[in-house]
Structure 1
Amino acid sequence: MAPTNILVTGAAGYIGGSIVADFLTGVVPSLEKGNIIAAVRSEEQAAALSDSGVNVTRLDLTDGEAVAKTIVDHDSTLRGTGNEIFAIEKQLADSYPVRKTDVTVIEQAQSQGVISFIVIPCLTHGKGTGAWNKLSVNIPIVINASIKRKEVRRFADNIKVSYVHISDLTALYGRIVEKILQGEEPPSGSEGYYFSTSYQISSHHFADQLAAALHARGLVSSPKPEVWPSAEAAAEALGVPAKFVEYLWNSGCVIHSPQLSQANSIRDDAPSTGIGSGPKIGWKPKWDEEKFFRHIDDEVDAVLELGKAKSSLVDSLFAAAKE
């Protein structure tokens, strides 16, 4: 089939940058680097990707005409990041900005005749491979706050939180793109939800292991975590709006609904688990809970090396909290 150009928006970000970098290493064997268009926002970001071998373009995603022109000029396919899931998200769209975005992307794509896919990462971790931002948001914020306060804190409720390593997430994107390039038609639109849950860890177990790891390095005063006295106290320490603090650090990727009970796993080796499910496309994550904790010092090392994520997520949450 004819070569297909792939436009990666947010190519300077943690996930987008890692997708570009990992695609260049052969995650998608049939995709040539010359067919990757990396969209970034600033000249500084463009310069960071200039030696990667991909086509780099500056793009303001709020400018619809500019986005359309970029797609047409590069003859590219814009790929996003079951009907029952869509219906649930639409009902809950105003409860969280990401849900509203998912619904908007699907409805706008359908109205324009564009095929869309929604890839939903849970708590993503690991040092990224991109040229600009190599840090996720969630875990680095917790590590930085813990080091600053000389203590690790956790929420009172012990929630199972879904995790995925950045390399497994880029591999999932790779599987979807590979299917498209092979001429297959993976489920899309309102049926095209792809959940990247690799494994789950209880929030208390994570806090226990992080406290032990930081204490062993002399970065906190106690190997045992304390409990946040309130969501407001946690929000102030972590630097996010109180409205969203538990969404970010004390919630799992699960929607309990009878309509979802028959969903298929996107993993060939995993059972159906409600919202952690989707079409089977042969995705097989390499990370699990045991491997995560075996490499928890790598999470600390990345933060000590890089500081914090170059991300606008927290700023966007403060803007959303004012609405």
Structure 2
Amino acid sequence: MPSILFIGATGYIGGTVLAHLIQHPKKADYEITIYLRSAEKAKGFEKLGFKTVLGSLDDVEVSEKLAARFDIIFQTADSDHLEGTKAILKGSKARFEKTGVVPILIHTSGTGVLTDNAGGDYEGTEIHSDLDIPKIESLPDTQPHRSVDLAIVAAAQEGYAKTWIVLPSTIWGLADNVFVKEGLQKPNSQQIPARIKLALKLGKAVYVGQGKNLWPHVHIDEVGKFYSILFDAIVSGKQPASGREGFYFLESGEYAQLNAVEAIAKALYARGKVASPEVSQLTEADLGPESHKFVLYLVGMGTNCRARGDRSRQLGWNPPQTTEDFYAGIQADVDYILETGGKRSPHL
């Protein structure tokens, strides 16, 4: 029976991917082991029929030895953990050298690798297609996620692992599956909730620069569907592009920062949480220099990121959500945060 190691099952993306994976028609043909930090949540997954191992990507020796035991690895936990990724790859290499069978790695990165430094002042004109590999290869090594992506591609080129890299964009929507219901999975995203929490902190919804920058978006359920489509293509022998060509962008349209912030302002004002439904430009005085810099470049509020998931669609993935759906979906994140008192980001 082929073995699967799943890393990141308690996360927003990971739990959703796993929920779709266990609906696969051939799920009984695979044995899934979940690698996670929480002993309490491990018990919950075990009650649902999964095997578990305690640890994290920080435990590089454990990760390496564990990876050497599995045919297929899903890594949905951290797109920037280079040492943890190297440990997984070392384990995969050891498995290949022992068995002669090339193991599979399906890794979660993000379209943040495409970002610029617009500071919100202009609409980016650089659009990346996941079919344009030379353009992806021209990205600076210093871009977010890039060092990890390069290590994975190098492993594929050396021949000891078959690799696929999935790059979601701004993910939206509340996850709704068995793992959420059991309290095992984080139900909401990061980018839009971070902006909502910032608005709550400041008492006003804010944008940076002129708010002209653009980002792609994708619904969380469509992310889960894509992984299922990709997995099916891999195990059914369809040989979807991998390694150097194995980049798959996930997007169903793109949004302007200013419009997203306006939707946040209206939703919070309707709940009496900000003084006005109007939006304001963020200044250093609002947060201080360091936090202002973080918001400007690292959570997408000031950067352009323009991507087209052409290769993803070639596999038969066809997300139906529009940008208007994305703006309307912000209400659900606002309601969730207000009802649960979501924890504040340490950076804000």
Q: Do these two structures clear the TM 0.5 threshold for a shared fold by scoring above it?
A: yes
Query: Could you tell me how far 1:66 is from its partner in structure 2?
Result: 2.7
Task: Give the letter for the 2:247 counterpart.
Answer: Y
Distance 1:165 1:109 in 2: 29
Identity of aligned residues (%): 25
Q: 1:69 aligns with which of 59, 65, 69?
A: 65
Q: Secondary structure at the match of 1:142?
A: helix
Q: Secondary structure at the match of 1:80?
A: strand
Q: Secondary structure at the match of 1:194?
A: strand
Match in the other structure for 2:229: 175
CA distance 1:308–1:84, change in 2 (3 Å) = farther
Match in the other structure for 1:296: 330
Distance 1:57 1:147 in 2: 38
Query: Could you tell me how far 1:74 is from its partner in structure 2?
Result: 4.3
Normalized against structure 1, the TM-score is what?
A: 0.78
Q: CA RMSD of the aligned region, Å?
A: 2.9
User: Size of the alignment, in residue pairs?
Assistant: 286
CA distance 1:23–1:143, change in 2 (3 Å) = same
Distance 2:225 2:215 in 1: 21
Query: Could you tell me how far 1:15 is from its partner in structure 2?
Result: 0.9
Normalized against structure 2, the TM-score is what?
A: 0.72
Q: 1:185 aligns with which of 235, 239, 242?
A: 239
Distance 2:287 2:49 in 1: 43
CA distance 1:19–1:240, change in 2 (3 Å) = farther
Match in the other structure for 2:141: 93
Query: Could you tell me how far 1:304 is from its partner in structure 2?
Result: 2.4
Distance 2:19 2:309 in 1: 30
Task: Give the letter for the 1:78 counterpart.
Answer: L
CA contact (8 A) 2:203 2:273 kept: yes
Q: 1:128 aligns with which of 171, 175, 184?
A: 175
Distance 1:178 1:306 in 2: 36
CA distance 1:223–1:241, change in 2 (3 Å) = closer
Query: Could you tell me how far 1:143 is from its partner in structure 2?
Result: 1.1
1:308 aligns with 2:342: yes
CA contact (8 A) 2:34 2:50 kept: yes
Normalized per residue, the structure richer in strand is 2
Match in the other structure for 2:193: 140
Q: Following TM superposition, where does structure 1 have runs of at least 4 consecutive aligned residues deviating by more than 6 angstroms?
A: none
Q: 1:52 aligns with which of 48, 51, 58?
A: 48
Q: Secondary structure at the match of 2:251?
A: coil
Query: Could you tell me how far 1:139 is from its partner in structure 2?
Result: 1.3
Q: Which runs of 5+ in 2 are unaligned?
A: 73-103, 109-131
Task: Give the letter for the 1:35 counterpart.
Answer: E
Q: Which runs of 5+ in 1 are unaligned?
A: 256-262, 269-279, 319-323
CA contact (8 A) 2:172 2:326 kept: no
Task: Give the letter for the 2:246 counterpart.
Answer: G
Match in the other structure for 1:250: 302
Q: 1:205 aligns with which of 252, 255, 259?
A: 259
Q: Secondary structure at the match of 1:295?
A: helix
1:287 aligns with 2:339: no
Q: 1:80 aligns with which of 104, 107, 110?
A: 107
CA contact (8 A) 1:152 1:207 kept: yes
CA distance 1:111–1:142, change in 2 (3 Å) = same
CA contact (8 A) 1:136 1:309 kept: no
